[in-house]
Amino acid sequence: MTAPQAACLHAALEIGYHLLDQGASALIATEQVIRVLEQSGLFNAGKGANRQLDGVRRMDASIMEGQALRAGAVASIEGIVHPITAARLVMEETHHVLLAGPMATAFARHFKLEGQRSGAQNRRLSYDTILKRKQSRRDQHGTVGAVALDRSGTVAAGASTGGIDQMLPGRVGDTPLIGCGVYADNESGAVSMTGIGEGIIRVAVAKEICNRLALGKSPVAAAQAVLKKLETRINGTAGALVLAPDGRFAIRHVTPRMAAGWWDGKGTPTVGDQFQ
């Protein structure tokens, strides 16, 4: 984690906590924290999102609140800075949960969300060329996410990503899939995931962690058990933000590092890249 990334996480945590302290909902706090990270260009989301093999940025995001189990998501959206806000608009302005592709982009533009410049690399390549380029992928990945608990006892979770580096056009990871990349339920807790999405999808990690919370497991125990299953069953890699309705939380990962942090309003925010 670089110094600018650490400073950005610090600022995002302060913004999120102050919103909650002023009575904002967990949903609003979660969205605003993620917007800071998308805007920064320092992470694989929003302005900093990876490009797919044809040179185009296609981004995914989702958000969920735990009182009524409302959720919204976008997949393969292009040309906007804040996919997390597009996801929230899907939740609040439609009867749907997930919009994908060009129509997700059109939806975001209808609501006049801030756009990104497409850049010279936004060119369409032949599929043969794309498949040849696939051999040089660097396996860089990452997702920004947040979980929050508000004064009413409602939890929320959200995530936003540019996916894995050098991925096939049209690839969708775990982030926009409710129960995989995110889940929030006031009866169990909130989870936001990062890592290689294919494995997270196959284990439905976020929902499985919440299921264990509902059975009385602590956030640490629930996260460790499911991440161990991800490793042993399919050799997957991931990190998790886990928050219980009583405020207990865990940050756990089965990767060498995971840039993350937390704050309860006391002292200064805790930010680091190893939480084992």
Burial of 152 (0-12, 13-18, 19+ CB in 10 A): exposed
Q: Which of 30, 85, 143, 161 is catalytic?
A: 143
3-state helix, strand, coil in the chain (%, to 5): 35, 20, 40
216 sits in the region (left: phi over 0; alpha: psi -120 to 50; else beta) called left
114 sits in the region (left: phi over 0; alpha: psi -120 to 50; else beta) called beta
Catalytic residue flag (residue 143):
yes
Q: Would you give the distance in Å from CA 10 to the centre of its chain?
A: 17
Burial of 83 (0-12, 13-18, 19+ CB in 10 A): buried
Q: Which residues are known catalytic residues? A: 143
